[in-house]
Chain A
């Protein structure tokens, strides 16, 4: 069989776009990570989105879609001033609250969402909220232990430290430029390889985890979930080891 250019062009289109159409119909052609957190599988909250699975790449809009909390409320809670709060990416909180004594980031959003919607969340680790978020939550009916947790885990709003009660204006971008120190943060997608490349020896990682390190390409969070370890605890301990090297 001999092929000329026109049938070849048609075949290229058929195979390429046919392949894409087929795999799309099968749900295999994902061009981005899913922005829907996993749901509780049992108990009274079964079927509801689990705030523990909120990730740094989510926007306030994604939280609104999954948990029904308006982006404007989230922006108010975290002191974010922007034209469209639904586009604000959670990971940017770490940059905005970089000067805070305690970390305000993805875990803070998990805490806020859990308390706001009355969903369970493991409180054995320290997660901090800015004053605005705490004030908003106190308007809800919180359990005494939740109120006590809030009392101990509230940090000043970022602008309050400089004496201004105003919110911090931010430029909304999906990937804000990050400084070297910010890049060396243990996050949900951080792999063991990255931690090794930041200078933390394998022995130290294994000491922190209490178990042997898996394939270095494994994400720390995935391995913690697999082994039943608390990611927040491991993350804090590994971060401390990284910070020691700075």
Chain B
């Protein structure tokens, strides 16, 4: 896409994804700002004044236990979070974790910082952690998920808000933000200079939940071995370091359905890496 003859996005990239990411980042930033303005007697007309907790689908996940056992929501969680959780699951069932790759503003800001890392480190970017260690670390987010669900279920309060970098990102100006959240946000952004999407890869509990759908999602990323040139471009481009060029169907729990590996983006051969329900040869 060009404006005044200047290219806006990197060639061979899914530019519409960047626009969608920008849209949701600005939307959440505006709503969060509006929430603060309304608390202080101001506000932007026609814009939601919802709190960030009300707009986070993961809030729905952590309140499931309390809702099932007591019939109420965890403090600060409202029906909207439950609805968003269901919508997130529908999207993930169909397309995998598109919420992570297309919508989540925390993922977006990590990608923005990643541009800086790519400039510094060129092809070494996103390749700093040894494979054997990286493989183990990728399961950390399931431990985080188990911990968050456990402490929320036993305390009935939203303890994760004290550490949540997503909440800190859009509330760093308010008294509601916890120092733990700010530290983790800072660490995430610094690490993003070296590793693409570090929070998503190693710690995000919501990504852990959605990632499971990659095993059975309706649309799957598939590689046609008959036309594949095995140049490895798809694997190099994958922000989550999935070795797409060595597999037929991407079922890796880390895939975020960004489509950057497909023939529509980096793969130079048409109809070779595709997002499809059908079979490829």
Cβ of A217 < 8 Å from any Cβ of B?
yes
New A-B pairs, 20, CB < 8 Å, besides A4-B259, A32-B78: A2-B275, A3-B275, A5-B14, A5-B16, A8-B95, A9-B17, A15-B87, A19-B83, A19-B86, A19-B87, A19-B90, A28-B83, A29-B80, A29-B83, A31-B49, A31-B78, A173-B39, A193-B155, A193-B157, A217-B72
Closest residue on chain B to residue A1 by CB atoms: B277
Give chain A's interface residues, CB within 8 Å of chain B. 1-6, 8-9, 11-13, 15-16, 19-20, 23, 28-33, 83-84, 87, 172-175, 177, 189, 191, 193-194, 197, 215-219, 222
Q: Which residues does chain B contribute within 8 Å of A12, judged by CB atoms?
A: 20, 91, 95, 98, 102-103
Which chain B residues (134-187) contact chain A, with CB distance < 8 Å? 153-157, 175-176
What residues of A have a CB within 8 angstroms of the CB of B20 in the complex?
9, 12-13
26 intermolecular pairs with C-beta atoms under 8 Å apart: A1-B219, A1-B277, A2-B277, A4-B264, A4-B275, A5-B17, A5-B265, A8-B98, A8-B259, A8-B275, A9-B17, A9-B20, A12-B98, A12-B103, A16-B91, A19-B87, A19-B90, A31-B54, A32-B51, A33-B78, A87-B40, A87-B41, A175-B176, A216-B154, A217-B156, A218-B72
How far does the alpha carbon of A16 sit from the alpha carbon of B79 in the complex, in Å? 15
Contacts of B275 in A (CB 8 A): 2-4, 8
* Nearest A-chain residue to B73, judged by Cβ: A33
Residue on A with the closest CB to B275? Answer: A3
Among candidates B39, B55, B72, B153, residue contacting A31 with C-beta atoms closer than 8 Å: B55
Rounded to whole angstroms, the CA-CA distance of A217 and B175 in the bound complex is 26
B227 CB-CB contact with A under 8 Å:
no
| CB-based contact A191/B156 at 8 Å | yes
User: Which residue of the partner chain, among B39, B66, B103, B264, contacts A217 with CB atoms under 8 Å?
Assistant: B66
Contact A193 B156 (CB under 8 A): yes
Across the interface, name the chain A residue whose C-beta is closest to B36.
A174
- Contact A177 B175, beta carbon cutoff 8 Å: yes
Most buried by B among A4, A5, A30, A194: A5
Closest to A30 in B: B79
The answer to whether A197 and B155 have CB atoms under 8 Å apart is yes
B209 at interface, CB cutoff 8 A? no
Per the bound structure, the CA–CA distance linking A193 and B95 in Å amounts to: 39
Distance, CA A224 to CA B49, complexed state (A): 32
Q: Which residues of chain A are within 8 angstroms of B204 by Cβ–Cβ distance? A: none
Contacts of A13 in B (CB 8 A): 20
Docked pose: A197 CA to B154 CA in angstroms: 10
How many Å lie between the Cα of A191 and that of B63 in the bound state?
Answer: 14
Q: In the bound complex, how far is the Cα of B40 from the Cα of A217, in angstroms?
A: 32
Q: Which of A29, A33, A173, A194 is in CB contact (< 8 Å) with B175? A: A173
**Restricting to B30-79, which residues have a CB under 8 Å from any CB of A?**
39-41, 48-51, 54-55, 66, 69-70, 72, 75, 78-79
Chain B residue at smallest Cβ distance from A17: B87
* Cβ–Cβ < 8 Å partners of A87 in chain B: 39-41
CB distance from B9 to the nearest CB of A (A): 12
Quick one: CB contact mask for B96-117 with A, threshold 8 Å, 1 for yes? 0010001100000000000000
Alpha-carbon distance between A18 and B218 when the two chains are bound, in angstroms: 20
Q: Does B127 contact A (CB under 8 A)?
A: no
User: Is B246 on the interface with A (CB-CB < 8 A)?
Assistant: no
Residue B278 at the chain A interface, CB threshold 8 Å: yes
Cβ contact of B78, chosen from A9, A30, A217, cutoff 8 A = A30
In the bound complex, CA of A124 to CA of B17 (Å):
62
